[in-house]
Amino acid sequence: MKSICGVEGVTAWGLKEGKFGLALIRADGEAAGVFTTNLMKAPPIRLMEERISRGTLSAVMANSGCANAYTGSRGQEDALEMAAIGAEALHLLPEEVGVASTGVIGRYLNLPLIEDQCRRVAPHLARTDEAEVLAARAIMTTDLTEKHSLVRRETFSVGGITKGSGMIAPNMGTMLAFIYTDAEVGAQKLREALKSATRRTFNRVVVDGDMSTNDIALCTATGKAGHVNPQEFSTALEECCRALAIQIAEDGEGASKLLEVTVQGAPGEEEAATVAKTVVASPLVKTAVYGADPNWGRVIAAAGRAGVEFDPDRVNLWMGDGRESVPLVTKGEIVVDLVRAKALMQGKKVTFTLDLAAGSSKATAWGCDLTEKYVEINGRYTT
Amino acid sequence: MKSICGVEGVTAWGLKEGKFGLALIRADGEAAGVFTTNLMKAPPIRLMEERISRGTLSAVMANSGCANAYTGSRGQEDALEMAAIGAEALHLLPEEVGVASTGVIGRYLNLPLIEDQCRRVAPHLARTDEAEVLAARAIMTTDLTEKHSLVRRETFSVGGITKGSGMIAPNMGTMLAFIYTDAEVGAQKLREALKSATRRTFNRVVVDGDMSTNDIALCTATGKAGHVNPQEFSTALEECCRALAIQIAEDGEGASKLLEVTVQGAPGEEEAATVAKTVVASPLVKTAVYGADPNWGRVIAAAGRAGVEFDPDRVNLWMGDGRESVPLVTKGEIVVDLVRAKALMQGKKVTFTLDLAAGSSKATAWGCDLTEKYVEINGRYTT
């Protein structure tokens, strides 16, 4: 098992037919969620914001192919109906079923298809390798890979699946993410831990700076593993979310390389994150990474417009491939060995570490390069 | 004449040799400037911020090919020396000469080349069609076209040239812009008018969201045309700057279409501008425009993350080609005629008008589509 089915009390199944997929995940437990901050929240997001306040969930049902976004009052009724369809198939109450949608904006849900897919998925719910893979696959849209994470601790586990490849932006990182733990955690604690983990992981991924209307991360704690150390749980949850966030960045639309930017020596963690996200989001940095061009000037110029005070003459900058790194700038002086730097940019991962020399805080952000493929994918999405 | 040489009291000349160009513009007058707000201001910007406070200029000398940015104290000495070179050639004091640089970051100026080019340019200074074209060409980097604007009023003129194609972002629009008027305007009034015009024109162009280290707009008033109505002057200056700003957007790196987004019905002008710039900067909107895809969902989703409050169920959205337009969304309802909308997107200009139904203010922003060519240009810039 590599994700949700590694967690006690979770069963799943999924189905993908062309662009249209449906995943069902069954797990009774305390539940918490974080949601997009886009003003144009999709109806399923509005519904879940309301329902998650109950603090428990018994199942999650997610469809791909249609986001049920910008669909007005009919969209709200459709989201309610979708939860009812899931509830009927699973013999639950509608309010015990979480719903999420992803795909094209501005189209109504095909409820007969969802009902049909739900009826075919429900009987298969299982706790197997195949089950979690099918569930993760069912929620993919422009994703090329399914995304799993499983963090095992001595007494409990945290596992999650996610999807997301485009419309990936800095606030509530994007995407659907369904995370489970068998640790016994109350809804309030779960909410705090999820919020904190999201801030440091999903919200630090930038693929294209476009914030989705449908972002949602749900975490359910089945409690099967009993009481755990809260700090240990938070750390494990963050580790799980980080692994999922990095997979989203790696699978960014058109991406050929993962871009990881760590900013250290910042006056505060949020300042460090702001600078890191600005660098990760810069089209000029992204294209330089694509072209394997160690263009420290673009990194520094992006950092300079992030709105965080630092002294350009004191900064240090390194570049690497995740294993090895070379200095590009030392105390404001350019020291780059171009041949060696270029050689380090040939792989699947490029890292920049920028020391602002303006404090002692640190943060990392993830993104990907910008390639012709991104343009191709998004120039022809709805056609 | 189509730009600066249409203004009384201005002479110019320029020279471009491969990547390296030099422009000289001679005009005595009151002067004002606006500058990049990037923390990593290039030495020539720092120098000009200081010198412009004198309130007069007699000449501007600009080089392309090297930005003299991130070059530390040597860069500062080089900027001073560049002004001295110009002053010697023009028989002026160094502080009477404005300097500007554009090109690759992190390289030192080639002062012997600049001195040599300056000596060859200075004897040709003239007030002719050829002169303004050569000056505009001399400052181009990745630009494909020279950019001119001339606004004629009954008693005075305002003319300008500009350059800029990449690293074009929302704060001090980017670029070099040299604007001249023969109107008699004091330095203080000139500063106010330039600031206001810049806010509404250059600062509303977004090509890639990357703010340059070298942005500068300088405006010199020769006074040859005598006293003018201040309001009429401000309007003419804004018209001149707008024409230049639109040319920058049209010539955005890799652009195949100009994108013009007008937001109306906003609570205030700055709110309208924020939403317009967010839509113009959205990679998903930009790629949809490239693909001639009337994807109103991406426009609305981008508007929704701009941080301005409005009611999604009340918005109206139109799309057009600058001559004709069709509704896409009316009072929150999708009304798009896909065939007609797609047909309108085949030309060189795509406009969106978004009515937030949340006030009575309005603003326009300009950008361009995102194409494979942008990636190609920036994946291989320094190599």
Q: How confident is the model at residue A170 (pLDDT cuts 50, 70, 90)?
A: very low
Instruction: Clarify whether residues A9 and A29 are in a common domain.
Output: yes
Instruction: Clarify whether residues A302 and A219 are in a common domain.
Output: no
Instruction: Clarify whether residues A246 and A264 are in a common domain.
Output: no
Distance from CA of B301 to the nearest CA of A (A): 6
- Which residue of B287, B331, B383 to mutate against A (max A Cβ within 10 Å)? B287
Q: What whole-number distance in Å separates Cα of residue A191 and Cα of residue A258? A: 29
Total domains in the fold of chain A: 2
Size of interface A-B (CB pairs under 8 A): 181
Instruction: Clarify whether residues A294 and A212 are in a common domain.
Output: no
Q: How confident is the model at residue A104 (pLDDT cuts 50, 70, 90)?
A: confident
Q: What is the pLDDT of residue A25?
A: 95
Instruction: Clarify whether residues A128 and A174 are in a common domain.
Output: yes
DSSP label at A8?
Answer: T
Task: Write out pLDDT tens, residues A28-48.
Answer: 999 988 887 777 788 998 899
Sign of CA dihedral B46, B51, B56, B59: negative
Q: What whole-number distance in Å separates Cα of residue A247 and Cα of residue B201? A: 40
Q: What is the mean pLDDT of chain A?
A: 88
Q: Is the pLDDT of residue A338 over 60?
A: yes
What predicted TM-score, i.e. pTM, was given to this entire model? 0.78
Q: How confident is the model at residue B171 (pLDDT cuts 50, 70, 90)?
A: very low
Q: Is the pLDDT of residue A343 over 80?
A: yes
What CATH number is attached to the domain comprising B172?
3.60.70.12
Q: What is the pLDDT of residue B173?
A: 30
Q: Chain A partners of B288 at a C-beta cutoff of 8 Å?
A: 378-379, 381
What CATH number is attached to the domain comprising A265?
3.10.20.340
Q: Provide the 3-class DSSP secondary structure of residue A318.
A: strand
Q: What is the pLDDT of residue A172?
A: 32
Distance from CA of A136 to the nearest CA of B (A): 25
Percent of chain A at pLDDT > 90 equals 52
Q: Is the pLDDT of residue B382 over 80?
A: no
Instruction: Clarify whether residues B300 and B193 are in a common domain.
Output: no
Instruction: Clarify whether residues B240 and B284 are in a common domain.
Output: no
Q: Which of B204, B232, B250 is the last residue of a domain?
A: B250
Q: What is the pLDDT of residue B211?
A: 60
Tell me the backbone φ, ψ of residue A165, rounded to 5 degrees.
-150, -40
Q: Chain A partners of B284 at a C-beta cutoff of 8 Å?
A: 166-167, 208, 210, 378
Locate the chain A residue with the closest alpha carbon to B370. Answer: A375
Q: Burial, A278: exposed, middle or buried (Cβ in 10 Å; 0-12, 13-18, 19+)?
A: buried
Q: Which of A250, A271, A296 is the last residue of a domain?
A: A250
Q: Chain B partners of A43 at a C-beta cutoff of 8 Å?
A: none
Instruction: Clarify whether residues B131 and B31 are in a common domain.
Output: yes
Cβ B40–A304 below 8 Å, yes or no?
yes
Distance from CA of B286 to the nearest CA of A (A): 8
> Is B25:B16 a contact under the CB 8 Å cutoff?
no
Percent of chain A at pLDDT > 70 equals 94
Task: Write out pLDDT tens, residues B96-146.
Answer: 999 999 888 888 999 999 999 999 999 999 999 999 999 999 998 878 888
Q: How confident is the model at residue A13 (pLDDT cuts 50, 70, 90)?
A: very high
Cβ A334–B70 below 8 Å, yes or no?
yes
Q: What is the pLDDT of residue B207?
A: 63
Q: Is the pLDDT of residue B326 over 90?
A: yes
Instruction: Clarify whether residues A288 and A189 are in a common domain.
Output: no
Q: What is the pLDDT of residue B198?
A: 82
Locate the chain A residue with the closest alpha carbon to B376. Answer: A372
Instruction: Clarify whether residues B86 and B233 are in a common domain.
Output: yes
Domain of residue A358, residue span: 258-379
Task: Write out pLDDT tens, residues A175-192.
Answer: 787 888 998 988 889 888
Q: Which of B197, B232, B250 is the last residue of a domain?
A: B250
Instruction: Clarify whether residues A93 and A199 are in a common domain.
Output: yes
Q: What whole-number distance in Å separates Cα of residue A55 and Cα of residue A24? A: 19
Locate the chain A residue with the closest alpha carbon to B70. Answer: A297
Tell me the average pLDDT across A116-141. 96
Distance from CA of A292 to the nearest CA of B (A): 8
Q: Which among B64, B8, B369, B370 is positioned nearest to B224, based on CA atoms?
A: B8
Q: Which among A183, A229, A165, A145 is positioned nearest to A32, based on CA atoms?
A: A183
Active site (annotated) includes residue A174 = yes
- Residues of B annotated as catalytic are 174
Q: Which residues, in sequence order, are CB contacts of A271 under 8 Å at separation 6+?
A: A308, A359, A361
Instruction: Clarify whether residues B289 and B207 are in a common domain.
Output: no
Cβ A171–B283 below 8 Å, yes or no?
no
Q: Chain A partners of B105 at a C-beta cutoff of 8 Å?
A: 297-298, 300-301
Q: What whole-number distance in Å separates Cα of residue B325 and Cα of residue A13? A: 47
Q: Chain B partners of A301 at a C-beta cutoff of 8 Å?
A: 38, 40, 69-70, 105, 167, 210-213
Task: Write out pLDDT tens, residues B176-193.
Answer: 878 889 989 888 898 888
Tell me the average pLDDT across A213-218. 74
Q: Is the pLDDT of residue A381 over 70?
A: no
DSSP label at A6?
Answer: G
Q: Name the catalytic one among A71, A102, A162, A174.
A: A174
